[in-house]
Amino acid sequence: MSERPGASFAHVDYDEAMRRARALVPVLRERAAAAEVGREMPRETIEDLHRTGLLRFHQPRRWGGMELEFVALFDVPAEIARGCASTGWNVANLGVHHWMLALYDERAQEEVWSKNPDAVIASGIAFPQGRGRRVEGGFVISGFWNFSSGVDPSDWNMLAVIVRDGDRVVDHRMCLVPRGEYEVVDDWNVLGMRSTGSKSVRATDVFVPEHRALSMYLIRGGGEFPGARVTDNPMFRVPLAALGSHCLAGAGVGNAQAALELTIEAIRERSTNYTAMRMRDFQAVQLRVAAAGAKVDAARLIIRSDCLEAERIAKSHRAPTIEEKLRFKRNVAYAMELCTETVDTLHALAGANGIYDRYPIQRLFRDQHALAAHIGFSWDAQAWPWGLVVLGGEFSSPTM
């Protein structure tokens, strides 16, 4: 399959997109070790993603994107992550930013996509790390944002800021900034997910015009966002703050699935060094593998169910309730707990082999614990708000 740079992928449906993702899994597994050393996605992988259009699964069709159903936000990265969790993570991040750009004013979309529909957009999503003040025609922003995944090949960055009038918070904005106006800080020396290249970004007194500064208060569910003037697809009414981590969860589910597949492959052929018995004949091994399979399947079903329900709610022309939003956030954190338990169990089954760099499951183990550290997957942070609300308490968040 060969597509020219800047090609339209509007003809690519869900099944074809998944076929293209599946076809990349073997080559991504081959590249994963070298990609770790480079601490960013290899050039060949970026070219493959552009060639297949897999970063454009939610880009509007009018700009040449696939504009697939919302659940593709999880399914495509999950399939890619079977080959490499870091690549799955970046496909989720960079792909969902096309979805986010569709929420912006049409002038911002024109500024980016008319010049390059393949444009790669990174992000810095922690609002407290950025500060902004309103000026004539837009905002002036400054800040230092960690974890800007895939920033090296990116043409733009979406930087989150809290806008204040004096000491009073008046807005939360996601500001679209071109590459030349921010600095990439090479501080990505980490335990796992090394080839995401999630370096930090610094901006100082950067002017962002109004049309490139999206208010988070307009994307909490419903059709108030600026881009609604040029799209009627309900998918774009799904609230970002409630389901923004579901795309990244694809990396965790795909990584756990890869650990299961590699473990099954190894056990089918492996005997212990001490008894010469086949590992597959130990009932304890059978039970652990079965439990791992059940957990990764459960995690996948939980996340897909959320995505499907969120799109159904959007199609009914209402915003989710706060209880529903918090349930989505609770669910994705729980699903990642299941994936981490899966990988831990399978890494333990590897025994002494699991400590060798040459044995892939040690990388999957490190990647799982690194990605599970994301705040969106923290059970402590994401579980209690739903519990509070369902028990009659009140919870408020300006971006929810």
pLDDT, residue 153, reads: 95
pLDDT, residue 357, reads: 83
pLDDT, residue 273, reads: 56
Q: What is the pLDDT of residues 95-148, one digit of tens each?
A: 999 999 999 999 999 999 999 999 999 999 999 999 999 999 999 999 999 999
pLDDT at 87 over 70: yes
**What values do phi and psi take at 98, rounded to 5?**
-65, -40
The average confidence (pLDDT) of the chain is 94
The Cα–Cα gap between 180 and 167 comes to: 30
pLDDT band at 181 (very low <50, low <70, confident <90, very high): very high
- Min mean pLDDT across 104-108, 253-257, 265-269, 395-399 is at 265-269
pTM of the model: 0.95
Q: What three-state secondary structure class fits 185? A: strand
pLDDT at 276 over 80: no
How many CB atoms within 10 Å of residue 354?
16
The Cα–Cα gap between 92 and 88 comes to: 6
- Helical ranges in the chain per DSSP H: 14-38, 43-52, 72-81, 85-101, 106-113, 240-243, 246-269, 283-315, 322-349, 360-371, 379-390
* Domains of the chain as residue ranges with CATH: 14-113 (1.10.540.10), 121-222 (2.40.110.10), 240-390 (1.20.140.10)
pLDDT at 177 over 90: yes
Taking residues 64-82, report their average pLDDT. Answer: 98
pLDDT, residue 271, reads: 58
Retrieve residue 64's tokens: 């040449």
pLDDT at 3 over 80: no
pLDDT, residue 350, reads: 80
Q: What is the pLDDT of residues 330-388, one digit of tens each?
A: 999 999 999 999 999 999 988 877 788 888 899 999 999 999 999 999 999 999 999 99
The Cα–Cα gap between 350 and 289 comes to: 12
Q: What is the pLDDT of residues 197-239, one digit of tens each?
A: 999 999 999 999 999 999 999 999 989 999 999 999 999 999 9
Cα-Cα-Cα-Cα dihedral sign, residues 123, 217, 241, 313 = negative
